[in-house]
């Protein structure tokens, strides 16, 4: 820990250096104003693609640290970033996100004001093509915004989630002493794109940790054209549902009962959405994917033993 740093920002990078440049510029130019902070970039690419970019910021006097680990496991690189952090809090922002003005201050002040263990902010989409895709014209599938008042407590197993929206580590800040004090806060067994952040959040919630909403801590997620396709979203939703199932079962004290409940929920989702797919005529409407996505989410809960791994992104 350091008395000179309130909060550390950990950013993981694989091959999206073209987007990481946007993330770092956003942090240093507007997102962290008025905050004593540092940035820790952990490069997960074997060719150390982000090294030159980070070195450029460091040479200009930015408070930034570069680390590298080529092992393809998100938990390993997250834990490495946490270990190198010196702040009382650690915030995570993904390398395809850029913060609005005052982002980090909003997260920090929320945690200080409420005494909560973790704070979460909105993630709004910014589409490469300039507009949301025609099959999701409002960009809702790419938006995480509960539209709740500041400091509202988020009960992970309660009813705060709206239409299937859930929490993750992107655009979140954690109190180190109560959330990240273990040698490996993120379980390596869940690091193969298998819901390592979901598993951590479930564990923290079961341990009684408090989560709160920070509506002014906004980041903009850049959605590249290939990620705006419906087939990408269907795969992403299926994988997310697998993450939920795996982590819910793994953190349960009654695994057989929880497995049965998750399986039943998956079957119900598939049955309901299969029926609605036919009744609403979605199969005749090529720009509607609501129930195909619902089917994917149900299928994810039934196929959690064979999880989808990393969805490869193009190198920048």
Digitized pLDDT (tens) for each residue of the chain, 316 residues in all: 445 899 999 999 999 999 999 999 999 999 999 999 999 999 999 999 999 999 999 999 999 999 999 999 999 999 999 999 999 999 999 999 999 999 999 999 999 999 999 999 999 999 998 999 999 999 999 999 999 999 999 998 765 444 557 888 989 999 999 999 999 999 999 988 768 999 999 999 999 999 999 999 999 999 999 999 999 999 999 999 999 999 999 999 999 999 999 999 999 999 999 999 999 999 999 899 999 999 999 999 999 988 776 666 554 4
CA 96: distance to chain centroid? 11
> What's phi and psi for 112, nearest 5 deg?
-65, -40
CA-atom Rg of the chain in angstroms: 19
CA nearest to 110, candidates 187, 221, 239, 217: 217
pTM of the entire structure? 0.92
How far apart (Å, rounded) are the C-alpha atoms in residues 112 and 103? 15
pLDDT tens sequence across 273-283: 999 999 999 99
Could you state, in order of their start, the residue ranges of all structural domains in the chain?
7-227, 229-302
154 close to 35: Cβ distance less than 8 angstroms: no
Q: What count of other Cβ atoms lies within 10 Å of the Cβ of residue 216? A: 16
Is CATH 2.40.110.10 the classification given to domain 7-227? Answer: no
């Amino acid at each position: 820990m350091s008395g000179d740093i309130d909060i550390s920002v950990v950013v993981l990078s694989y091959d999206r250096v073209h987007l990481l440049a946007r993330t770092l510029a956003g942090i240093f130019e507007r997102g962290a104003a008025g905050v004593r902070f540092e940035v820790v970039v952990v490069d997960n690419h074997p060719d150390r693609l982000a090294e030159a970019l980070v070195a450029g910021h460091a040479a200009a006097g930015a408070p930034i640290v570069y680390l590298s680990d080529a092992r393809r496991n998100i938990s390993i690189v997250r834990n490495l970033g946490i270990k190198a952090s010196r702040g009382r809090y650690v915030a995570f922002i993904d390398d395809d996100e850029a913060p609005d003005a005052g982002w980090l201050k909003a997260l920090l002040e929320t945690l200080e004001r409420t005494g909560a263990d973790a704070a979460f902010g909105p993630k709004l989409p910014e589409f490469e093509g300039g507009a949301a895709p025609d099959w999701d014209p409002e960009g809702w599938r790419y938006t995480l915004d509960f539209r709740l008042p500041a400091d509202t407590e988020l009960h992970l197993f309660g009813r705060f989630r709206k239409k299937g929206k859930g929490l993750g580590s992107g655009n979140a800040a954690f109190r180190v002493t109560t959330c990240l004090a273990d040698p490996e806060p993120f379980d390596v067994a869940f690091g193969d794109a298998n819901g390592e952040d979901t598993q951590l959040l479930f564990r923290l919630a079961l341990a009684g940790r408090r989560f709160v909403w920070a509506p002014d801590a906004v980041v903009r997620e850049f959605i590249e054209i290939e990620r705006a396709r419906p087939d990408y979203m269907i795969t992403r939703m299926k994988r997310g549902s697998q993450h939920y199932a795996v982590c819910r079962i793994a953190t349960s004290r009654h695994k057989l009962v929880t497995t049965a409940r998750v399986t039943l929920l998956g079957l119900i989702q598939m049955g309901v959405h299969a029926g609605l797919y036919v009744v609403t005529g979605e199969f005749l409407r090529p720009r509607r994917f609501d129930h195909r996505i619902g089917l994917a989410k149900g299928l994810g809960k039934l196929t959690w033993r064979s999880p989808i791994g990393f969805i490869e992104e193009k190198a920048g």
